[in-house]
Amino acid sequence: MPSPLPEVPARTVVREDMRPSACVSAAQNDCHAREVVSAAVRSVVDHLEPPLSSLIRRGDRVLVKANMGCSGFRNPEDRVTSHPAYLEAIIECLLDCGARVTFGDDVARTAQYQRIWHKTGMSEVAKRTGARLADFVQAGGREVRGFLQFPKTYLITNLVFDADVIVNAANCRSLSKVVLSGAIKNMFGAMLGLRKLRIHQLFFDPSEFARVIVDIHRVVKPSVSFLDLTTVIEGQGVADAIRPVGLILGSTDAVALDTLAAHAIGYDRLTIWTSIHGNAVGLGSNQIDRISVRGLKWNSFEKKRLLYPEPEPSYRESLTDQVTRRLNNTILRPRPVIASQTCTACGACASRCPVGAIRRSPHEKFSIDLDQCPDCGC
């Protein structure tokens, strides 16, 4: 039986009658064999509205944001990361439009990104397609103003600003903090390093956390999103298991994509704050009756009833704890230091610092300009 997550009807803030209907393209897909996924993704692309060829012009620099997991090395069959066959199929469609494709994710916290590329199957995708595989940290990053009062800025990889078009290649799974990790959540990874962890620590409340996720999605602005539900991890934190769902989706409306995904896996009665806030700020529609599905008879598609993720514990923090937590993650946050006793002066940290805040100095081996350091922790 699904775990008892709160079931609250979705709220809307913007008047619905002001909104156009959303369109999601869908194709059935039962396995990750390359030729099978390729056919499914092509069908999704063929039914996209507006068509992909109108979003991407010949010669455009396109950045594809994959999901390569956030800790350790990930096997594609674990279904935590974007499957390489799915990514390859998306890249092939982009190349057909004449795009110059770069793809990647922020995997630099382990400082072994090439191993992660190999383990997640991304090196092979780069080899087969000729697309450039890039490390989000090595490309550098910059602070970008969001739409919220707090946090005001995000440290976003430069690859986002170097691209003409962003494509979101998301993977769907159950995840306690957001219930459904889908198209909206995937762009969170455009923010560099431990800044993501700080957002987790600053925003315990799932609604507030989702508000920030949506804000980052608005900042990065993918032109089109894809979502893979061929198989999906259910019951995160309760009884994680990989279940067949048999679906790949695509749309210019990431909120509609996640909303349809929630219906496909039986999460439609749960409160999915990313979709609620996404709808509220005008990012897209979370009203199922305003979403039209192309390429697949939606009513005939057999919806699944996956196990719900573990509910987030409700925190009753005292005012003192709230203030302390806020201070510990802002003014009193830990800052990076050079361990001069053990530093070998290899320069690896300086070459990977995304903002060039680590420099060789005449008196010390290396030093960090803390005024310039945005605490990425990379």
State the residues that interact with ligand SF4 by CB under 6 A: 336, 353-355, 357-358, 368, 373-378
Judged by CB, which is closer to ligand SF4: 223, or 367? 367
Smallest distance, ligand SF4 to C-beta of residue 37, A: 36
Smallest distance, ligand SF4 to C-beta of residue 201, A: 16
Identify which of 102, 101, 84, 99 has the alpha carbon closest to the alpha carbon of residue 41: 84
Smallest distance, ligand SF4 to C-beta of residue 345, A: 16
Judged by CB, which is closer to ligand SF4: 76, or 354? 354
Place of tokens 């925190």: 315
Judged by CB, which is closer to ligand SF4: 272, or 358? 358
Identify which of 89, 85, 125 has the alpha carbon closest to the alpha carbon of residue 104: 125
Cis peptide before 151 (omega within 30 of 0): yes
Judged by CB, which is closer to ligand SF4: 293, or 357? 357
- Cα distance between residue 197 and residue 116, in whole Å: 20
Q: Are 260 and 291 in contact (CB under 8 A)?
A: yes
- Cα distance between residue 202 and residue 205, in whole Å: 9
Judged by CB, which is closer to ligand SF4: 2, or 377? 377
Smallest distance, ligand SF4 to C-beta of residue 196, A: 13
Smallest distance, ligand SF4 to C-beta of residue 149, A: 24
Smallest distance, ligand SF4 to C-beta of residue 367, A: 10
- Cα distance between residue 275 and residue 139, in whole Å: 30
Smallest distance, ligand SF4 to C-beta of residue 349, A: 6
Secondary-structure percent of the chain, ordered helix, strand, coil, rounded to 5: 35, 20, 45
Judged by CB, which is closer to ligand SF4: 232, or 378? 378
Identify which of 80, 86, 82 has the alpha carbon closest to the alpha carbon of residue 37: 86
Judged by CB, which is closer to ligand SF4: 160, or 265? 160
- Cα distance between residue 107 and residue 115, in whole Å: 10
Q: How far is CA 30 from CA 7, 161, 247, in A?
A: 30, 36, 7
